[in-house]
Amino acid sequence: MSKIQPIAIKDLYPTQLTVGLIEVEDKKKRLLAMSAKDQQSFLQDHPMPVVVGPQNRLFITDHHHLARAASAAGIAQSYYQVLDDLGSLNLDGFWIEMNKNQWVHPLDEHGVRHQYSQIPEHVDALVDDVYRSLAGYVRDAGGYDKTPAAFAEFVWADFFRRNIAIEEVTANFHAVVPHAHDLAKSKIAKGLPGFNG
């Protein structure tokens, strides 16, 4: 992996359509509780993994929540580390390689797949998927293990989307977390990435 380098957050291109805004808000509060120096140290310790794409654009493959939270907190600069350089490919070839490596997730807040052209050009334009926040909360509560599997939290978000009504989740998010935690430990979740039931 390459060296860690500074970058303006506005110059990072997303590789997904959604984030969990409840999770983003939590990260934003944590960042705002830090001094400016500590914010930069934290971001340097959590560099954005990027793939160089056409026109030398930097596409982040992870830490979308952190990038969005930092931007919302008014932090202009973060840090990145290059995973791969696909800058020599045309746009179609680039997305084919990104998909092959599981570095792109063009599914919306309903779990519907879209064309790559629908992925926004800035993290501030990512839309909310409340099930993605639920997946993050359940993971943090020990409902499943953090795993290097690509987009594992989105797999869990889709699992909860199929098993818990949206009205329940939006009516009282925090009250649903224990129920989702129990579902994550149940036999029906066996086979999902990080399952620890």
Judge whether 54 and 87 are in contact, CB under 8 Å. yes
Quote the CA–CA distance of 70 and 124 in Å, as a whole number: 10
* The CATH number of domain 5-128, selected from 3.90.1530.10, 3.40.50.300, 3.90.800.10, 3.90.25.10: 3.90.1530.10
- Where do you find CATH 3.90.1530.10 in the chain? 5-128
Q: What pLDDT is recorded for position 1?
A: 56
What are the phi and psi torsion angles at 99 (to 5°)?
Answer: -65, -45
Q: What pLDDT is recorded for position 44?
A: 97
Judge whether 84 and 52 are in contact, CB under 8 Å. yes
Low-confidence stretches of the chain (pLDDT < 50) are none
Judge whether 106 and 113 are in contact, CB under 8 Å. yes
Pairing of the two strands 58-60 and 48-52: antiparallel
Q: What pLDDT is recorded for position 43?
A: 97
Q: What pLDDT is recorded for position 2?
A: 76
Q: What pLDDT is recorded for position 92?
A: 96
Domain 130-189 belongs to what topology? Helicase, Ruva Protein; domain 3 (1.10.8)
Quote the CA–CA distance of 22 and 26 in Å, as a whole number: 6
- Where do you find CATH 1.10.8.10 in the chain? 130-189
